[in-house]
Amino acid sequence: MIDTVADFGKIIIADLILSGDNALIIGMAAAGLSPELRKRAIFYGMVIAALLRILFAIIATTLLGIPGLLFVGALLLFWVCWRLFVEIREHVDEKAEVAMETAEDLEAGYTGPPRRTMKQALISITIADVSMSLDNVLAVAAIADGDTVMLVFGLGLAILLMAFAATIIMKILTKYPWISWLGLVVLLYVAGEMFVRGVFDAQLGVGPMLGLIEGWDMGKGH
């Protein structure tokens, strides 16, 4: 019971701290549009991010169940941690807060006639969303460890946070930067746990798969 509550807590923290780069890209793309296009750009950007998360969740859940790929997933998650560390140092949350506020204020940002189309803005958002959605899904999938309820909760929360609370979250993370550092520690712990399983797990680890070690039973319940 305590482990389950702790895992839900990890998912909430991961969703919070990994929402900053999404908000920054969507906000910047929307702020560069003429006012009449902004709300649609923000909405479509959120929809694209949501669909990508669902798609990646299906793929990630399947792939992480293949022997050897848990190890690769752990290395990718360590890379996510490094990116998050750089973002914290560069105050990405603060930039995201400004970008979202500018995009939502129709009298701020670019207010002239359309100089780029909605299609161009959405292409920019989609390209950026691919890596950002993968980050979020990988973290949630690692914490959920095959638990469908937990995975759906994590994805649903991420989508809701983006859709309804992006600006508020950015304000909180800007005002209390220790939350981002706490999130980084949590993700490092998850990546480390995933790495150990990726090496030593009897069913999924590269060690047993290559015949280097006998392997341990390390799934949930062990």
- To the nearest whole percent, how much of the chain has pLDDT over 90? 0
User: For 137-188, how does the pLDDT look when each residue is reduced to its tens digit (9 = 90+)?
Assistant: 888 888 877 777 888 888 888 877 776 666 777 777 778 888 888 888 888 8
Give the pLDDT score at 160. 77
Every domain of the chain and the residues it spans: 2-66+91-181
**Beta-carbon count within 10 A of 185 CB:** 12
**Among 172, 145, 148, which Cα is nearest to 65's?**
145
What distance in Å separates the CA atoms of residue 60 and residue 99, rounded to the nearest whole number?
30
What residues have CB less than 8 Å from 57, skipping those under 6 apart? 137, 140, 141, 151, 155
User: For 78-108, how does the pLDDT look when each residue is reduced to its tens digit (9 = 90+)?
Assistant: 888 888 888 778 777 777 777 777 766 666 6
What distance in Å separates the CA atoms of residue 106 and residue 34, rounded to the nearest whole number?
8
| Sign of the torsion formed by the C-alpha atoms of 63, 64, 69 and 72 | positive
Which residue bears the tokens 């902004």?
38
What distance in Å separates the CA atoms of residue 105 and residue 108, rounded to the nearest whole number?
5
Residue type, 51: L
pTM higher than the cut 0.85: no
